[in-house]
Amino acid sequence: MSIQYKVEENLLTTPPSYSIRFVSRGSAGREDIAADIALRHPNFSKADILTILNAEDEAIMGRLLNGEQVTKEGCCSWFPSFTGKLDNPDDPLPPLDQCLHLNVRVSPPFVEDFSKDAQVERLASTEKLPVINAAEDTVLGLRDVLRADGMLRITGSNLAFDRQDSSQHCLIEGTRSGSAVQSRIGAVSNTEIVLMPDVPSQPEPWNNEYQLSVTVRYTEHGSLRTGIYKRRLRSPLTLTKMGHPNPPEVGILTGKETSPHVSVTGGSVAANETLRIQAVFDTRADALLFSLLDMQENGKTGAAVSVTANGAVSVPGFSGSAVTNLSVRVNTYAALKEMIRSSYGGRIADILQVQTA
């Protein structure tokens, strides 16, 4: 027997890295363990072994409820622990289902024996599929940016498709509505596609989120195979009359929703400029950090502003920027945080074309 694993690309790292994922052959329960023991020790029936296993659980629970740590030598230990914060030393505890926890720690000798005796087996992909590793606007040099006047470079594996076959294509779809089969393609190979994007329109300006996919047929009579890029592409947004007393509000940092998660309501702007605004989920503080960035990766960055609820904040610019600050209002904090965590790996960024007229 062996322990199976797969190697998968981690799309949230730059440069790309690969993770090793354990692939379970199945799951075993108390009945299975009792059957295994009975095979090795035929003097004991499966029923007797089940009785002993159940009695062991009861004995361990009794010791833990008595406030003891329980250790099975050479295997593992059980011990209670508390979490929580009190404002005063005499305050009562929070409800026990919130602050009292039970921990299990595997003993080092058990882990050493496991590692020493283990054999592993690498699993191959079950079928050939297009895999999109990255999509970059080559004019700006920025990943996951979609511009109608830009050039999109898609890299990966098994990407080559027959442009004369209408069933095979590269497709860009709006997450709310709209789709466009890409026709302005400069080059196609197994590892790269270069094209001038046809960007489908969506109902609202803040619906600037898109999904990218490639559909391929590898043999003449083979089935169509589709690979979907796991990250979302975002198109630039335009802010007009910035620096005026009452500029039009512009929704930003939103997906397919019918109203924007965040709006830019104004700001102090001396001249036209294109920059980026990002929101990063800070797991330690359980907050979103808003900041303005220039158009270079790892370039200039303004001071971050922490946001933990709906409301207005001023996001400062960076050194040398014509934008001193932007006034931003968070409309749906909880939905924004969930979108950033679940769909963007903890960070979302929009390009803003800031105009004074």
Residues with Cβ within 8 Å of 149's Cβ and at least 6 positions away in sequence, in order, are 139
Instruction: Considering the chain, tell me which residue range(s) the CATH 4.10.520.10 domain(s) occupy.
Output: 3-122
The CATH class that applies to domain 3-122 reads few secondary structures
The whole-number average pLDDT for the span 199-221 is 95
Model pLDDT, residue 126: 62
Q: Which residues of 41-60 are buried (b: 16+ CB within 10 A; e: fewer)?
A: eeeeeeeebbeeeeeeeeee
Q: Where in the chain are all domains bearing CATH 2.70.50.70?
A: 131-234
Asked if 197 contacts 171 with a C-beta cutoff of 8 angstroms, the reply is no
What's phi and psi for 192, nearest 5 deg? -155, 140
pLDDT category, 48, cuts 50, 70, 90? very high
pLDDT of residue 81: 96
We find that the CATH architecture of domain 131-234 is Distorted Sandwich (2.70)
Which residue from 209, 214, 205 is spatially nearest to 175, judged by alpha carbons?
209
Percentage of residues of the chain with pLDDT beyond 70: 98
Say if residue 9's pLDDT is above 80.
Answer: no
Per-residue pLDDT averaged across 13-19, rounded?
77
Q: How far apart, in whole angstroms, are the C-alpha atoms of residue 326 and residue 324?
A: 7
Q: What is the pLDDT of residue 33?
A: 93
pLDDT given for residue 174 in this prediction: 97
Six token digits for residue 51 = 């009785």
**pLDDT given for residue 11 in this prediction:** 63
Cα–Cα distance, 248 to 241 (Å, whole number):
7
Give residue 288's pLDDT.
98
User: What pLDDT sits at residue 23?
Assistant: 86
Q: What is the DSSP secondary structure assignment for residue 343, as one 8-state letter?
A: H
Q: Which of 36, 241, 9 is nearest to 129 (CA)?
A: 9
For residue 136, the model assigns a pLDDT of: 98
Q: What is the mean pLDDT of the chain?
A: 94
Give the pLDDT score at 323: 98
How high is the pLDDT of residue 69? 97
pLDDT given for residue 159 in this prediction: 97
Cβ burial, residue 288 (10 Å; 0-12/13-18/19+) = buried
264-313 tens-digit pLDDT = 999 999 999 999 999 999 999 999 999 999 999 999 999 999 999 999 99
pLDDT tens per residue, range 211-233:
999 999 998 888 899 999 999 99
- Of 227, 203, 336, 348, the C-alpha closest to 280 is 348
Q: What is the pLDDT of residues 166-192, one digit of tens each?
A: 999 999 999 999 999 999 999 999 999
What is the percentage of the chain residues whose pLDDT exceeds 90?
Answer: 87
Q: Which run of H or of E encompasses 195?
A: strand 192-195
Query: What integer pLDDT is reported at residue 186 of this predicted model?
Result: 95
The 3 state secondary structure assigned to 4-55 is EEEEEEECCCCCCEEEEEEECCCCCCHHHHHHHHHHHCCCCCHHHHHHHHHH
pLDDT for res 351: 98
Write down the pTM of the prediction. Answer: 0.67
**pLDDT (mean) for 98-108:** 95
Q: What is the mean pLDDT of residues 137-154?
A: 97
pLDDT on residue 221: 80
Rounded Cα distance between 75 and 105, Å, is 9
Ordered DSSP codes for 125-176: PSS---EEEEEEETTTTEETB--TTS-EEEEEES----TT-TTSEEEEEESS
Lowest mean pLDDT among 5-14, 18-27, 150-159, 273-282: 5-14
Please tell me the distance from the alpha carbon of residue 21 to that of residue 153, in angstroms, as a whole number. Answer: 29
Peptide bond into 197 cis (omega under 30): no
Separation of alpha carbons 132 and 125, rounded Å:
15
pLDDT tens readout for residues 108-134: 999 999 999 999 999 876 678 999 999
